[in-house]
Structure 1
Amino acid sequence: MEKRMKEAIEQNINTYSSPSKLRITDIRVTNIDGAPKHCPLIKIYTNQGLVGYGEVRDASSATYALMLKSRIIGENPCNVDKIFRRIKQFGGHSRQGGGVSGIEIAMWDLAGKAWGVPLWQMLGGKFRDKVRMYCDTDVDGKHTGTDMGKVLKKRMEQGFTFLKMDLGIELMLDEPGCLNAPLGFLEDIKKYSIKAINHQKGSIDRDMMMGKNYKIFTIPHYATGIHLTQKGMDFLEDYVKQVRDVIGYEVPLAIDHFGHVCIEDCIQFAKRMEKYNIAWIEDIAPWQYTKHYEKISNAVNVPICTGEDIYLAENFEPLMKNGGVSVIHPDMLTVGGALEMKKLGNMCDKYGVAMAIHMAESPIACMAAIHAAASVQNVMAVEFHSVDIPWWNNLVVGIDNPLLKEGFVFVPDKPGLGIDCLNEELIAEHIHEKYKGQWESTTQWDDEWANDREWS
């Protein structure tokens, strides 16, 4: 009996790791494309052969992670909070949070592997054994609400119980009389949109990013001068009605990418949406403008949502405190990682705000989001944006395949993120065209140094 107990215990202990002596020795990155976007993947190596997996936010730069290499080499990755406090000053909102967040997740992966426990256990345990996934759905080209409804209906047939679609001014660029804007402005937007769609795999090249058409999208909503006419309001409302006529009114349906238009038009349109049982309207204004969100939320009876571009849990509080949002929507790879997500979940309980988790990345970020969602008491759903990518699930080895089962992902009990290893051959097939090489040396970042102290 004693022998059997000893053998059972040894099976659950990583005898190749001495956690207190574990040290970070290297960081490598690989950039893949189409999963569904450009995704910079991270490996953190250690002196004991353990490798931790992380990821920089979608459509971002691996530089945000590599610049931190010299700050963490030689550290014990099990001291996640200590290292995070050292590097969090180098994070920022939106994609700028990706380096700090991706490294934080990779350290949790290493700590879990070293100690033999899953990430959700290190965050305090789990509230659920499976996590609901909501499906974000795009339809390319000119289409009707009925067309979108049919695509969403197929998602429901695949088992999804929560849906989201894009709905915004780009649907009306070819519809005369629907939009009001400075003359020539809409034509520039249309040129940009066509170029972005036609560009290989949807990536935006440097020429586009530096051109005048890109700059349109750097103007905040209230300053574009774009308005919806009543005809435009009618057009979009009819689109939503067509969608509901196909999918019914029972399934939750969220709306994203409304467009950079003034908040007064957003309020008018949101009022029209009240009869269509909208789960939330997302990013209807820049998240920084708390008063804008407060004004919109007080004027309409549709849940208002934002948050995928907010770094650190503390920066969500003004929106919640002032009643600007009913739903917050953080991304694991912007918010600061798993521990910040846990803090944010507790803050949601304090203010009575719902949480859904943004996720448009590889299985690495997805599994991190699943662990975080399991550890947070009240979570609506985690986004899934890769239904139509047949190779997505195969990028990593060790997770369920298929990962999604009837619209849910089961929370793994395996150590760390629950990923055994990466599928290196498949990754090689999807290397981003602008970033040749796979896990190449990063010694050029070994001696990066600055006096990082923020006080004297």
Structure 2
Amino acid sequence: MKNALKDIIKTTKEIEKQYAAERLAEMNNVNTKANRRDFLKKTALGGMSLTALMGLSMEDTMAETTSNVRRASAPSDLKITDLRYCVTTVLGRTAIIRIDTNQGIYGLGEVRDGADPRYALMLKSRILGENPCNVEKIFKIIKQFGGQARQAGGVCAVEMALWDLCGKAYNVPAWQLLGGRYRDNIRLYADTPTGSDPQDQKEKIKYRTETQGYSWLKMDVSINQVRNIPGTLNNTEIMKQGSNQWQGGYMSYANTKHAFTGVQITEKGLDELAKIVHEVREMVGYEIPISTDHYGHIDVNNCIKLGRVLEKYTLAWLEDMVPWQWTEQHKTITDALDTPTTTGEDIFLLENFKDLIHNRAIDIVHPDLASSGGLLETKRIGDYAEEFGIAMAMHQAGTPVSFMANVHCAAATQNFLSLEHHSVDLPWWEDMVKTTGGDKLIVKGYAPVPLTAPGLGIELNDEVVKQHLHKSDSSYFAPTPEWDEKRSHDRTWS
């Protein structure tokens, strides 16, 4: 018994000696945090034994006994201390936010393209002092300040940043926090390139599919493409009130819902639009899915006429043919056509997808994570649609920050089809970030899922982002103390 005890003591002393050396090396490491270094000094470094812990506080004792837990911080003690932003020129104007904490780790999020960063800044006073790992709790605090489309940009940006932070705190990828992954690579779909002539377009499509490796494409089939061809449309007077379907005054064509424009497509117009799709299909072939979008503001009857003309081209889907709010019209179109239909990029929260799903008004849900509520809410949308036999594709038009948030969500959602990449031909887009796991953002039309990198798996490449700040606001994560104070009572019930 005595000999056995001597052996245990000898072995223990050897372990403690090695442990002391490791702790000394940690204390001398320039990357060791000050609070950790203070703890190491308290423990005398001479070969610490269990009895040495008796003189420490409960906090220090817990820190010591859990020191080998693999994590990047003390998650239970994390607090949000700041929210800052910068505005990039991606898609015209897209803001990135950064949420800072008391432990030096931070999370990145993105306010959807074309949305005001103030949608996120006004949430700062609601989240200061909160533990960012309580993602769902914080989401429930702030979701009342989100609305449809770009109005959800602030809530979604904060939610993205929280998952990035939480993943970094626990040293796991965001997809792991969502319940695990179904796939290691995320299929992407990209715009079909146009050319100066058919031969030029054919060469560009070959480059897109063979060199870049994209196996799913999307193209516009818009009445704007034929508006200057006589005899293709009638009632075009309203289309003169604004340059296109996105820009114009409140009473312009751009802001007149589809059923209220009175624009109709003639037989000649249908032939011209079919010719556009035919030419692309001939260049691409039938093996590669082609989705279509941006038809213009035409009513449900013209949507059906156009859809029937295009059915022979086996399109992957018809997207946003009428405003998403009109569930019955979507169902009318879906029931009339064999081509799959989809909508959803402007819908905030699962609750607003439910009518479309319950009524099987569409064949595919198509949320934009930067509008739908963020990673967890978008996964909930996909999971709910799956119960009704409906697949999910994902709309994405932003910086690599929201792109990677989508990658993690897509990895964790079983009924996922494909994710949009809207900046394929922007040469500096991928350089805006560095992957912390060493992977490339995109490889031959797929986005590799970060298997070990914590959080979203990216860090900003500051120098590149600074080169592409919007001229209206060239600040770069400057302090935002004017947003610290909460000035209202937010409860929505009495």
Q: Same fold (TM over 0.5)?
A: yes
Q: Is residue 162–residue 253 contact of structure 1 (8 Å, CA) maintained in 2? A: yes
Aligned to 2:404: 367
Amino acid at match of 1:417: L
Amino acid at match of 1:177: G
RMSD: 2.2
| In 2: Cα distance, 1:19 partner to 1:155 partner | 44
Aligned to 1:410: 448
Query: Structure 2: any 5+ residue segments left out of the alignment?
Result: 1-10, 23-65
| In 2: Cα distance, 1:69 partner to 1:165 partner | 39
| In 1: Cα distance, 2:372 partner to 2:476 partner | 27
Are 2:223 and 1:169 aligned? yes
Map of 1:294-443 to 2, 5 A cutoff?
294-398=331-435, 402-412=440-450, 413-419=452-458, 421-443=459-481
Query: Could you tell me which of 82, 90, 100 is aligned with 1:26?
Result: 82
**Alignment partner of 1:161: what SS?**
coil
Aligned to 2:208: 155
Amino acid at match of 1:151: K
| In 2: Cα distance, 1:146 partner to 1:289 partner | 40
For residues 255-278 of structure 1, what are the alpha-carbon distances to aligned partners after superposition, in whole Å with 9 as ceiling and x for unaligned? 010111111011011011111010
Aligned to 2:52: none
State the 1:187 CA deviation.
3.2
Q: 1:138 to 1:167 in 2, by over 3 A?
A: farther
Q: Is residue 220–residue 294 contact of structure 2 (8 Å, CA) maintained in 1? A: yes
State the 1:150 CA deviation.
4.5
Query: Could you tell me which of 5, 8, 13 is aligned with 2:70?
Result: 13
Amino acid at match of 1:27: L
**Alignment partner of 1:255: what SS?**
strand
Q: 1:451 to 1:138 in 2, by over 3 A?
A: farther
For residues 408-437 of structure 1, what are the alpha-carbon distances to aligned partners after superposition, in whole Å with 9 as ceiling and x for unaligned? 111102110011x21111111111111231
Point out which structure has higher relative CO (alpha carbons under 8 A, 6+ apart).
Answer: 1
**Alignment partner of 1:403: what SS?**
coil
Aligned to 1:36: 91
Aligned to 1:200: none
Q: 1:302 to 1:107 in 2, by over 3 A?
A: same
Q: 1:37 to 1:243 in 2, by over 3 A?
A: same
Q: Is residue 80–residue 129 contact of structure 2 (8 Å, CA) maintained in 1? A: yes
**Alignment partner of 1:41: what SS?**
strand
Number of equivalences: 431
For residues 99-155 of structure 1, what are the alpha-carbon distances to aligned partners after superposition, in whole Å with 9 as ceiling and x for unaligned? 001101101111111111110000000001111111123538xx6777655533321
Q: Is residue 65–residue 100 contact of structure 1 (8 Å, CA) maintained in 2? A: yes
Query: Structure 1: any 5+ residue segments left out of the alignment?
Result: 197-203
| In 2: Cα distance, 1:12 partner to 1:358 partner | 38
Are 2:315 and 1:278 aligned? yes
State the 1:280 CA deviation.
0.2
| In 1: Cα distance, 2:447 partner to 2:305 partner | 37
Amino acid at match of 1:336: G
State the 1:439 CA deviation.
1.1
Amino acid at match of 2:110: E
Aligned to 2:183: 128
Identity of aligned residues (%): 43
| In 1: Cα distance, 2:492 partner to 2:424 partner | 44
TM-score by length of 2: 0.83
| In 2: Cα distance, 1:149 partner to 1:243 partner | 8
Q: 1:147 to 1:237 in 2, by over 3 A?
A: farther
Are 2:233 and 1:179 aligned? yes
TM-score by length of 1: 0.90
**Alignment partner of 2:241: what SS?**
helix
For residues 283-306 of structure 1, what are the alpha-carbon distances to aligned partners after superposition, in whole Å with 9 as ceiling and x for unaligned? 000000000001001111110111
Aligned to 1:188: 241
State the 1:442 CA deviation.
1.1
**Alignment partner of 1:278: what SS?**
coil
| In 2: Cα distance, 1:394 partner to 1:305 partner | 32
My pick for the range that moved more, 369-378 or 242-251, is: 242-251
**Alignment partner of 1:25: what SS?**
strand
| In 2: Cα distance, 1:318 partner to 1:395 partner | 39
| In 1: Cα distance, 2:200 partner to 2:463 partner | 37
**Alignment partner of 2:353: what SS?**
helix
Q: 1:313 to 1:149 in 2, by over 3 A?
A: farther
| In 1: Cα distance, 2:335 partner to 2:291 partner | 19
Amino acid at match of 2:131: N
Amino acid at match of 2:484: D
Q: Is residue 439–residue 448 contact of structure 2 (8 Å, CA) maintained in 1? A: no
Amino acid at match of 1:40: A
| In 2: Cα distance, 1:309 partner to 1:144 partner | 34
Q: Is residue 55–residue 102 contact of structure 1 (8 Å, CA) maintained in 2? A: yes
Aligned to 2:56: none
| In 1: Cα distance, 2:240 partner to 2:197 partner | 21
| In 2: Cα distance, 1:73 partner to 1:229 partner | 57
For residues 294-353 of structure 1, what are the alpha-carbon distances to aligned partners after superposition, in whole Å with 9 as ceiling and x for unaligned? 100111111011100000012111111112101111111101011101111111211111
